[in-house]
Each structure stands twice: as structure tokens, then as C-alpha cells.
Amino acid sequence: MSAETFRRIAIVPAYNEEHNIGRVVDELHAFDPGLDVVVISDGSADRTAQVAAAHGAHVVRLPFNLGIGGAVQTGFRYAHENGYELVVRCDGDGQHDPSQLPNVLAPVLAGEADIAVGSRFVEGAGYRSSATRRVGIRLLAWIVSAIARQRVTDTTSGFQALNRKALELFAADYPHDYPEVEGMVMTIKHRLRLVEVPVSMREREHGRSSITALRSIYYMTKVLVALFVGLFRRRVVPAEDV
Amino acid sequence: MIASGTPLKVSLAATAASLVLVLVVFELIRSRRLRERYALLWLVTGIVLVVLSAWRGGLNTIAGWLGVRGYPPAVLFAVGLLFVILVLLHYSTVISQLSDQNVILAQRLALLETKLEERTNRR
């Protein structure tokens, strides 16, 4: 099926990305003029929200920084409440190249997946990074693969496409802080079909990634605890308290 | 000379108590009443106390390093107290942040309400 038949939206979380966000929005519109774009400015102190609005995106301004999980879920809720049927998620720093979107969308459009994740490590993607980062990413991929009983390679990728079914789950329940890893496990535990597709990602052009050494230790510990405890949880969506 | 080891009964009781702490924290996370980010410090506290309580040799050695001569389990109190202080400090920072955010939310909500009322009145 072609994407044109769906109401579709791109969710772009952004924290202080005034130098990148304009180009990201333009590229998404250029890729598909029928694709709505919602930028979630996660308590940005710069002109991220104004720039995004000037480039024709819908903008949600969070009053303070919620972290990537809270920001992205805001986007999911926006998409859910407004009846979108097809969602892509990509980062506001320009790392995710919209020209790769057809790859990411393909399994969802073909009805083969409820969620498709762009992976830098699937055969054919070609990606290099520092040794410590690789070890961390490998370890997480190994653990998630074991829990999910499905081989995954990139557990931290925010370059994703979702159908309405996956959107409904994530609008109701989405992990906090660093959500991608737990999100993957959640998806599979809820028996949604997850498929990884190879993508190449770009280096960010302006500013700095939010992940520092100390944070990545906290991140690993927190994610490991969450994954371990998650093993003892039945698949429940918490009561909606909105 | 006074016996300067850790009595077995003390070790057993302390181990049991700290295990209960770890299990309670675990159950709170599992039932989603405690978020991982606020649970990490509690988990570390519990695990350190379990290890120190169960491993009498280690506790005695550490007591030796710290110059605790008479009663090594005193180290358990000290470590426990240290972690409780850390947890409390952590919570103080969290509460401060929450109250700041609460002010921002109240202001945003009130401003939105005003904006909405002014718009409906104009029509």
C-alpha cells in the first residue's frame, strides 16, 4: 500500500536544536509534502519552537524539559488524539536522513510490521563509533534479543515508523528517560511485530549530543534494572490517568 | 580481650533485614509504584547492606580499616546511615525541582485559562 492513503505525521523531539530543526522540517516536507510534522520542543531555551513554526511544523512547547521519553510520548499523544494512522519518528538534530524514510516505512506499509526501526548495525548499514559505545550497544542488543526472542541489533535508534496499533500502545504507555530499549521490549511483549531495517545515519552538524560518559553509565544501569524488573511484570498498560 | 568479630546472629538478622529491603524495592518497581530513576539509590543501599551483613570477614576487615575496634557491626549502622542521608539529599533535590515545575505549570495553566476566557468573551 502506498503512504498517500494514510493520514501521516512525523514526530520530531527537539531540545535546543535551533540550528538543526529548520532543515529537518524542510527535508521532511520535501520528502513528502503530505506528511505533517510536529516538533516537540522539550523545554528548549533557544529559538527551536519559533524556527520550527516558521518552517511550517506544528509545534508543541513543553514548559520544562521532560527528557526524550516524555517528549516523544507527547508527540504520540498528539498523533493519537488527532487521528493519525501512520507515524514516523525522527530526531531533531538532523541525524536521521529523510531520504532513508522509504526503507523505514516499507515494512509498515506492507503490513509486515507494526513498528519498523532503522538500525545502524543491520547488514548493509555501515556504521562506526567508539569502542565503549559499541560494547554498550552490543550488550543491550544481546540482552534485548534474549528477552524478546528475536534478533535486534540497534536498541537505541529513534528512527522509527509505526502504524496505528503501535501508536495506541505508545500513546498510553511509554518508558521514561531513555525509552528506546524498553520500548522495544514492550513492543514485543505486547505481541506487536517489530522489524529492523538498515539505515545510515549522519553526523550531527551543530551542537552536541546529550549523552555524556557519566550519563551513559546511569543509562546502562537504569535500563538494565528496568529490563530485569520488566521480566517479572505481566504485560499491562497502566490505567489511563488523563 | 573483647571478642572483635561480628556475631553470627547479628549477621543473619542484618542480612535478612537488608534482603527484605531489596525485595520491597523490587516489588515497588515491578508494580510501578516506584520509578527506576528513584529506585537506583535504594537498590544500591540494599545490595551494599546485604553484602556487608552476610560477609562477616569483609565487615570485620572494613571495621579494622576504619579503626572500629570493639564492635564491627557498628560499620553497618554507619553505612546504612550514610545511604539514608544520600537518599534524603537526593529527594530534597527532586522535591525542589518538582516544586519549581509546579509553579511553572500553575502559571502556564492560569495564563492559558485567561487567554481562553478573553477569546470567548470577545465573541
Q: At residue B17, does pLDDT exceed 80? A: yes
pLDDT of residue B1: 39
Q: At residue A104, does pLDDT exceed 90? A: yes
- Closest CA–CA distance from residue B18 to any residue of chain A (Å): 18
Residues of chain A with C-beta less than 8 angstroms from the C-beta of B39: 225
Delimit the domains of chain B by residue range.
8-122
> Under an 8 A CB cutoff, do B32 and A238 touch?
yes
Given A222, A229, A233, which is nearest B37 (Cβ)? A222
Chain B residue with CA closest to A229: the answer is B30
Residue with cell 556487608: B52
The H or E element containing residue A14 is strand A8-14
ipTM of predicted assembly, 2 dp? 0.73
CATH superfamily ID and name for A3-230: Spore Coat Polysaccharide Biosynthesis Protein SpsA; Chain A (3.90.550.10)
Residue B12, Cβ neighbours under 10 Å: how many?
Answer: 12
* Contact call for residues A162 and A108 (beta carbons, < 8 A): yes
Q: Which three cell numbers stand for residue A135?
A: 560494547
Q: Strand, helix or coil at A44?
A: coil
Q: Distance between CA A50 and CA A54 in Å, rounded? A: 6
- A49-99 per-position pLDDT tens digit: 999 999 999 999 999 999 999 999 999 999 999 999 999 999 999 889 999
Delimit the domains of chain A by residue range.
3-230
pLDDT of residue A240: 45
pTM for the full model? Answer: 0.85
Residues of chain B with C-beta less than 8 angstroms from the C-beta of A221: 40
Residues of chain B with C-beta less than 8 angstroms from the C-beta of A176: 35, 37
- A166-214 per-position pLDDT tens digit: 999 999 999 887 788 989 988 988 899 999 999 988 876 565 566 667 7
Amino acid type, A190? H
Q: Comparing A236 with A160, which gets the higher pLDDT?
A: A160
The H or E element containing residue B105 is helix B74-122
